[in-house]
A and B are shown apart, each in its own frame.
Chain A
Amino acid sequence: MNLRDLTALQLAQKLQKREVGVVEVTADLLGAIKGAKNLNIAVTVCEKEALAQAEQVQKRLDAGEIHSPLAGVPMAVKDNICTRDINTTCGSKMLENFKPPYNATVMNKLCEADTILCAKMNMDEFAMGSTTETSYFGQVKNPWNTNHVPGGSSGGSAATVAARAAYFTLGSDTGGSIRQPASFCGVTGIKPTYGRVSRYGLIAYASSLDQIGPIARTAEDAAAVLDIISGYDRADSTSLNQPAGGFLAALKGDIKGLKVGIPREYFAQGLDEEVKASVLAAAKQLESMGAQVEEFSLPMTKYAIPTYYIIASAEASSNLSRYDGIKYGYRHEKPEDLIDLYLKSRSEGFGREVKRRIMLGAFALSSGYYDAYYKKALQAKALIKKAFDDAFEKYDIILSPTAPTAALKLGESLDDPLKMYLGDIYTVSVNLAGLPALVAPCGFTQSGLPIGVQLIGKPLEEAALLNTAHAYQQATDFHKKAPLSVEVMK
């Protein structure tokens, strides 16, 4: 059996039993990443650091010093997560050579759990996008069909897992950026409850919406990773006072009596028929396993997109103001004066989509428009949260499609931004309400593109989501399929 067909947990077991070595496994994975060059998944490959760390971890494994469930497993993280002394670019020219002198909290945790960082994955610039086509370092291709996008903004992270070029990755999700690429790439991803995972060291897009989360091939693996990266962090004021872990242990595989709600507004016009069929089939599967599945009305659905784009763009316009070339990042070389330094550094350093969202955000906050846009959006956000709170009185989990379609073709989305934004219809409200949500593969289109089903949970109820997906994955095999190109690569 090919090593890279193993799940992260399976690999970890083999490593513990000394059936295979950490350095061997790491070198193999580095080879896979480099071999997937045509997909353009990685911005930086940290070969030297990875092999050095692998040696250290092997020594400690040999000495019987470590037993963490994922010890020795090589992985990769999205390039907006700060890694000490290793380029962290956010897919942007603005941070092309930025080497943070600190680690994100999640990186420290992954290091303490003895997982091996192999690469920084490509992404939409500053996490703004749904196709990973806005990266300064070039677009990422979907391993299932290289004429299609992998989704975004964590397209690199999702494609990597699908291509078996990492046992798991970390992505970030502000309006669907873990879930939608997971869906497009046929892998499992979870956006935790807002505050569940520390944001310290995550380069901010929209502070009130961002969360880091795992992308893996199984819900079990995702649970194991979430065990490591979750937990209270006093360096992040929005971090929830919850201990780390407990997710893997909570997987029992039994969903009898689980109350699942399906919002009828999510199945209206605009949803691709194949996607609809797959997602409803998943619901049927859950029902056959003992869940109670029911349709219901979830109000506020159509207001989620405008609310999201105002809030996310507004916060982004503020978060990205610090990029001026003075302390770090791209700096225009010969400015006429100070203002020129700002104008040129920022205009040359940022790409089109980033500039567009900065403009939208600055507008929504500007004098005379604040009440009509930003304030209004915060009120709508309160109503959206309430709609979910009400729904969760009746249901344990809400089931829905992840995106209206499967992966779109490359080059089709960027010229019609509004259309691209509308593709986020099922994912953005989750971030607005701070809820956890998981995506797992539930089918394929006729043309072989993956489809993912989204499960939305109550605040802090990641365990229910992971358990449901785990149960589903015991009974189905969509998550086991690999892209043909990967089969060929082996």
Chain B
Amino acid sequence: MNYEVVIGLEVHVELATASKIFCGCTTAFGGAPNTHCCPVCTGMPGTLPVLNRKVVEFTIAAGLATDCNITRNCKFDRKNYFYPDLPKAYQVSQLYFPICRDGDVEIETDGVKKKVHIHEIHMEEDAGKLIHDPWEDTTLVDYNRCGVPLIEIVSDPDMRSANEVMAYLQALKARLEYLGVSDCKMQEGSMRADINLSVRPMGATELGTRTEMKNMNSFKAIGRAIEFEAKRQIELLEDSKKVTQQTRRWDDNKGVSMAMRSKENAQDYRYFPEPDLTPIYISQEWIDEILAAQPEMPKAKRARYISELGLPEYDTDIITGSKHLADLFEKTTVLTGQPKEVSNWIMGEMMKLLNENEKQPEDIDFSPENFAKLIQLVEKGTINRNTAKKVFAEVFLQNINPEQYVKDKGLQMISDEGAVRSTIEKVLADNPQSVSDFQAGKQKAFGFLVGQAMKELRGKADPAMINALIKELLQ
């Protein structure tokens, strides 16, 4: 029997506000435990929340960028449950009137386009962190993360494969990065995806029982988790067993998902409107203001790169897929006036270096100025491409100033034709066999002579010049 995998996502995104959602503590990542806290975010008796306006603005921006309807009158609700990482024993969230509803994100996989429907986006506060202490077999509680603002983006179960899930997440991430509302770093936890997955026989219309998976810390882990869980559920059904609705924890080291004991029973959260916060009215003016401030989004950027800058579609897709790449590309292009050249460097050498060093575009920490300088050095003929690749690696890793670096290491190309000519004459004199081979018609010998000449010149010559001179001297 053929099965179809049906996937919906609940993506939690930490908003990049400076302060927390209900108090003025910093949202900065890291920090010694319990040093980014106050009586409000640790739920001390008598304390009260006050809403950070920027959280609402960022959320409206996210909703507009995903074509959602903005709920003009919304409010917060309390989600009540007991867990040590939740100091008030309730999380302030939105159930009855979420701020955004009914959006879409278009994705493309294997050349096929489709829209993933966003059911809703709502605001909520993050909980703290639990740290297991193996020495004393207790758990330590750190409330630094309590009160960091989150938006939860809930999709319909519209995805059918790991690829579609990746595409959806990439698209969401790009939009949110472009807006500047979150840095979307999965490894730091500022973007987390919970996967709701079920399977059903191909062609069936009813949804199967779904499980919810948590704790995937990278896009790759998400892919692995989906493959595993789909297989696990299919095997159960083929065995005439039932899939149990439960929450499962993904263990990337072991490559398996396991039922979470603490979440076995469906929780009764006793949601009710939060009395300590006032309702929110979002006027059309406010929406218009936020929309007007929206930066150029991936779709528009893509169209512009293709039509105005003449970049190929493939390159454009990659570069506009990340705000960091797009920013780097644009700033360097402004400095060099050479969009295709910049794009080639990014698509070629830089991608290679990112992969080799297991880094993501957001980890790029070299300046467009240095990048531009490198490109100009090649353009001016100061260094050849081979040298440039080596210098670029240094720019990438250490953000060196290429002009200074080339000077210090003496990497400039030898441009004096006379010097090149005399070196080539020497090479030809030292390799009479190759010369006669070439004159006998063996093209390979020519390459050998070029290589030898380059070696003598320690790589610091323009290959075109060498080629031309050798040809000339062998006439």
Q: CB within 8 Å of B: which residues of A?
A: 81-82, 88, 90, 95, 98, 100-102, 104, 199-204, 207-208, 234-238, 314-315, 317-318, 321-322, 324, 326-328, 338, 342, 362, 365-367, 370, 374
Q: How many residues of chain B get a CB closer than 8 Å to chain A's CBs? A: 29
Q: Is B46 in the interface zone, CB < 8 Å from A?
A: yes
Mark each residue of chain B from 30 to 49: 1 if its CB lies under 8 Å from any CB of chain A, else 0: 00000000010011111111
CA distance A90 to B45 in the complex (A): 10
How far, in whole Å, are A202 and B80 apart by their CA atoms in the complex?
21
Q: Quick one: given A237-B277, A324-B89, A326-B141, are A365 and B272 in contact (CB under 8 Å)?
A: yes
The distance in angstroms between the C-alpha atoms of A412 and B300, with both chains bound, is: 76
Complexed CA–CA distance, A327 and B146 (Å)? 14
User: Which residue, of B45, B48, B139, B270, has the highest number of chain A Cβ atoms within 10 A?
Assistant: B45
Q: Do A324 and B270 touch across chains, with their CB atoms under 8 A apart?
A: no
Contact partner of B48 (CB less than 8 A), chosen from A235, A322, A362, is: A235
By a CB distance below 8 angstroms, the chain B residues around A81 are 46
Contact of A237 among B51, B88, B90 (CB under 8 A): B51
Is B339 in contact with chain A by the CB < 8 A criterion? no
B19 CB, nearest partner CB in chain A, Å: 14
- Least CB distance, A84 to chain B, in whole angstroms: 11
Smallest beta-carbon distance A329→chain B, Å: 8
Determine whether B210 belongs to the interface, using a CB cutoff of 8 Å to chain A. Answer: no
A208-B275 in contact given A318-B90, A366-B270 (Cβ < 8 Å) = yes
Given contacts A82-B45, A235-B48, A324 and B39 within 8 Å (CB-CB): no
Q: Give B90's nearest chain A residue, CB to CB.
A: A318
CB neighbours of A365 from chain B (8 A): 80, 270-272
Question: How many angstroms from the CA of A236 to the CA of B90 in the assembled complex?
Answer: 18
Chain B residues lying within 8 Å of A207, measured Cβ to Cβ, are 275-276
Contacts of A95 in B (CB 8 A): 45
| Contact A200-B90, Cβ < 8 Å, known A208-B275, A321-B82 | no
Give the contacts of B115-158 with A (CB-CB under 8 A): 139, 141
B89 close to A98 (CB less than 8 A): no
Apart from A98-B45, A318-B80, A322-B89, what 16 extra A-B contacts exist at CB < 8 Å? A88-B46, A100-B46, A102-B39, A102-B47, A199-B48, A200-B47, A203-B45, A234-B50, A237-B48, A237-B278, A238-B278, A318-B90, A328-B44, A365-B271, A366-B270, A370-B271
Which of A82, A234, A315 is within 8 Å of B46, CB to CB? A82
Which residues of B have CB within 8 Å of A328? Answer: 44-45
Given contacts A235-B50, A362-B270, contact A321 B80 (CB under 8 A): yes
Determine whether the beta carbon of A367 is less than 8 Å from that of B43.
Answer: no
CB atoms of B276 and A238 under 8 A apart: yes
Please give, as numbers and ranges, the residues of chain B lying within 8 Å of A317 by CB-CB distance. Answer: 270
**Does chain A have a CB within 8 A of B223?**
no
Q: Are A374 and B82 interface neighbours, CB within 8 A?
A: no
Inter-chain contact B78/A318, CB cutoff 8 Å: yes
24 pairs of residues in contact across A and B, judged by CB atoms under 8 Å: A98-B45, A100-B45, A101-B39, A101-B44, A102-B39, A200-B47, A201-B47, A202-B46, A204-B46, A207-B275, A234-B50, A237-B48, A237-B49, A237-B277, A238-B48, A318-B80, A318-B90, A318-B270, A322-B45, A327-B43, A327-B87, A365-B272, A367-B268, A370-B272
CB contact between B270 and one of A101, A200, A208, A370 (< 8 Å): that residue: A370
A100 CA to B141 CA, complexed, in Å? 20
Contact B80 A237 (CB under 8 A): no
Known: A315-B275, A318-B78, A342-B82. A366 touches B45 (CB 8 A): no
Asked whether A104 and B275 contact (CB < 8 A) given A321-B82, A321-B88, A362-B270, the answer is no
Q: How far, in whole Å, are A2 and B90 apart by their CA atoms in the complex?
A: 52
Q: Does B208 contact A (CB under 8 A)?
A: no
Task: Fill in one digit per residue for B262-278: 1 if any A CB lies within 8 Å of its CB, else 0.
Answer: 00000010111001111
Q: Does B463 contact A (CB under 8 A)?
A: no
A370 to B269, CA, bound (A): 11
B278 neighbours in A (Cβ, 8 Å): 237-238
**Interfacial chain A residues near B80, Cβ < 8 Å:** 318, 321, 365
Is B361 on the interface with A (CB-CB < 8 A)? no
Confirm or deny: B381 has a beta carbon within 8 angstroms of a beta carbon on chain A: no
Cross-chain contact B88 with A366 (CB below 8 angstroms): no
Contact of A327 among B42, B46, B49, B276 (CB under 8 A): B42
In the bound complex, CA of A201 to CA of B44 (Å): 9
Shortest A164–chain B CB gap in Å is 29
Q: Decide: A238 near B275, CB < 8 A? Known: A199-B48, A321-B80, A321-B90.
A: yes
A322 touches B275 (CB 8 A): no
Chain A contacts for B180, CB-based, 8 A: none
How many angstroms between the C-alpha atoms of A204 and B84 in the bound complex? 21
A236 to B46: give the CA distance in the assembly, Å. 10
List, in ascending order, chain B residues with CB within 8 A of A235's CB.
Answer: 48, 50
Nearest CB in chain A: distance from B73 CB, A:
16
B87 partner residues in chain A, CB cutoff 8 A: 322, 327
How many Å lie between the Cα of A208 and that of B78 in the bound state? 14
Q: Is the CB of A327 within 8 A of B48?
A: no
Q: How far is the CB of A269 from chain B (nearest CB, A)?
A: 34
Question: What is the minimal beta-carbon distance from B69 to any residue of chain A, in angstroms?
Answer: 25
**Cα distance, A321 to B84, chains bound together (Å):** 12
**Residue of B39, B277, B278 ringed by the most chain A CB atoms within 10 A:** B39
Write out the residue numbers on chain B whose beta carbons fall within 8 Å of the beta carbon of A199. Answer: 46, 48
B44 partner residues in chain A, CB cutoff 8 A: 100-102, 327-328
B93 to chain A, nearest CB (A): 13
Q: Which of A235, A237, A365 has the most CB of B within 10 A?
A: A237
Are A326 and B84 neighbours in the complex by a CB distance under 8 Å?
Answer: yes
Q: Which A residues are CB-close (under 8 A) to B48? A: 199-200, 235-238
Bound-state CA distance A150–B43 (Å) is 32
* Residues A314 and B45 in contact, CB atoms below 8 Å apart: no
B97 CB, min distance to chain A CBs, angstroms: 14
Interface hits, B73-93 → A, CB 8 Å: 78, 80, 82, 84, 87-90
* Cβ–Cβ < 8 Å partners of A101 in chain B: 39, 44
Chain A residues with CB below 8 A from B43, complex form: 322, 327
Contact partners of A237 in chain B: CB under 8 A: 48-51, 276-278
Q: Which residue of A lies closest to B22 (CB)?
A: A237
Question: Measured between alpha carbons, how far is A213 from B181 in the docked complex, in Å?
Answer: 43
A374–B275 Cα distance when bound, in Å, is 13
Please give me the residue from chain A that is nearest to B23 by CB atom: A235
Q: Which of chain A's residues have a CB closer than 8 A to the CB of B45?
A: 82, 88, 90, 95, 98, 100, 203-204, 322, 328
Q: What's the minimum C-beta distance from B90 to chain A, rounded to whole angstroms?
A: 6
**Per-residue 0/1 for B89-109: is the Cβ within 8 Å of any A Cβ (1 yes, 0 no)?**
110000000000000000000
B272 contacts A374, C-beta separation under 8 Å? yes
Cβ-defined partner of B84 (8 Å) among A202, A318, A338: A338
